[in-house]
Amino acid sequence: MQLTDLTAVQLLAGYRKGEFTPVDATEQALERARRIQPRVNAFVRLTEEDALARARESAGRWRRGAPAGLVDGVPVTVKDILLLRGHPTLRGTRTIPEQRGWDEDAPPVARLREHGAVFLGKTTTPEYGWKAVTDSPLSGITRNPYDPTRTSGGSSGGSAAAVALGAGPLSLGTDGGGSIRIPAAFCGIFGLKPTYGRVPLYPASAFGTLSHTGPMTRDAADAALLLDVIGAPDPRDWSALPPAPGSFTERLKEGVHGLRVAYSPSLGGQVAVRPGVAAAVRRAVAQLADLGAYVEETDPDFSDPVDAFHTLWFSGAARLTQRFSAHRRQQLDPGLREICAEGARMTALDYLAAVDVRMDLGRRMGLFHERYHLLVTPTLPLTAFEAGREVPAGSVFRRWTGWTPFTYPFNLTQQPAATVPVGTDGDGLPVGMQIVAARHRDDLVLRVAHALYEAGVGVAAPLPAGQV
């Protein structure tokens, strides 16, 4: 049996029945990680000794019938933006010294540790998570599981590739403008950006309250399980939400019957969506109607907030590097240096004007969700393009935000938003559909995604032969 093909829910069922152990699952996941690394470059480092030690401890607990928590013995990977005790967190940059004390877990990592998870290693990120593809001066280019000449997306590209290829069913990603949803869509997996504050974040992001932490998984059931673990308050994050009322896992089976769904294929004509993407999303939307949702093709009431997003994003990058010496600055990704310079020219009034746009967008979406439980869009207007580029060849856009217009608006509004794989384009590359709900309604996003998986819609296309 290939345990790398199983979800976390399935692994836990097998542990419970004694069919296999966490050591078995961890050994297979580590072997898979080593095998895929030369081809896709998903990992900054593997933490093999620690993983096997934790797996053996977990196996002992399962033998005694006393698992430590909800994910005891499940292999997990962690994006190298988040602290993992005992191992460096270098954030894709050469500007952070590796030899320092690494004695603290980020809040979601701490919760996973309490619940017995097995940490396989740290996954790749662009430098400080600044862009929507994954390449960095530190670790090079991360590639797409379906076609290694193409990008995995970003900034949680290593996590997406690892999950897609079976190197652990659960991963922690971060999302400041789509950085969970973009690579999840490109790599054919599920990714959820929860409501801001649902998963505490520490240290605080330089990009402020745009940045969220969330699950990257094979399906919605695994994401609900992971959110049940990591969606707990932490005193180090003053903006963390109180515990969610009830379990996300328990609410999955409530289905979609009677939900009002707004389907916006192009945000009112603002986005040029490639035909293969549009067709795959439209088929999935039709399935939602077949499952009992009331679907209406309509658009939310907003224009592209990209200028406001740039102000907040670029000024955050400038703040991050404000005290860098000239030598450290020269070590940065050239694109990151550019946006830092642009952000440094922005004024406090520019920033506050962007906050005004953000608050108005939040108001508009709040009113929109008075009429509709959910908004559905393509996750991206295209599928994975050439690796090593910030934008596709021949693009009129200079920055990554030009091809991600469906994702960053919902970082501004802090709403829960997920991507579900809904098929492929003509080149066999995965297509994602985005599901958005009102703030604090993560349960609705997960319910709808789970219904699609149960109906056989949210299943990624098989990987090409020889990819795993």
Task: Specify which residues 288 forms β-bridges with.
Answer: none
Nearest 5°: phi and psi at 433? -115, 130
| 133 in Cβ contact with 154 (< 8 Å) | yes
Which of these, 147, 148, 172, lies nearest to 160 by C-alpha position?
Answer: 172
Q: Which of 136, 152, 155, 159 is catalytic?
A: 155
What is the amino acid identity at position 24?
D
Kindly state the DSSP code that residue 254 receives in the 8-state scheme: G
Q: Which of 156, 159, 171, 179 is catalytic?
A: 179
Residues 347-354: contacts with CB under 8 Å, at least 24 apart: 350/311, 350/315, 351/311, 351/312, 351/315, 353/308, 353/311, 354/307, 354/308, 354/309, 354/311, 354/312
Dihedral sign, Cα of residue 104, residue 108, residue 113, residue 114: positive
Write the CB contacts of 95 (distance below 8 Å, at least 6 apart in sequence). 324, 328, 331, 332
Q: Which of 79, 122, 131, 193 is catalytic?
A: 79
Active site residue 155: yes
Helix (H, G, I), strand (E, B) or coil at 81: coil
Tell me the two tokens of residue 392: 């596709």
| 161 in Cβ contact with 179 (< 8 Å) | no
User: Quick count: other Cβ atoms within 10 Å of Cβ 466?
Assistant: 6
H helices then E strands: how many in the chain? Answer: 14, 13
Helix %, strand %, coil % for the chain, to 5? 40, 15, 45
Q: What does the DSSP assignment read for 146-193?
A: S-TTBB--SSSHHHHHHHHTTS-SEEEEEESSSTTHHHHHHHT-EEEE
Rg (CA), the chain: 20
What are the CA-CA distances from residue 222 to residues 424, 432, 453, 461 (Å)?
22, 18, 11, 18
Write the CB contacts of 28 (distance below 8 Å, at least 6 apart in sequence). 2, 3, 4
Active site residue 79: yes
H or E stretch at 87? none
Farthest-apart Cα atoms in the chain, separation: 62
Q: What does the DSSP assignment read for 180-238?
A: THHHHHHHT-EEEEPSTTSS--SSPPTTGGG-EEEEEESSHHHHHHHHHHH-S--TT-T
The residues assigned a catalytic role are 79, 155, 179
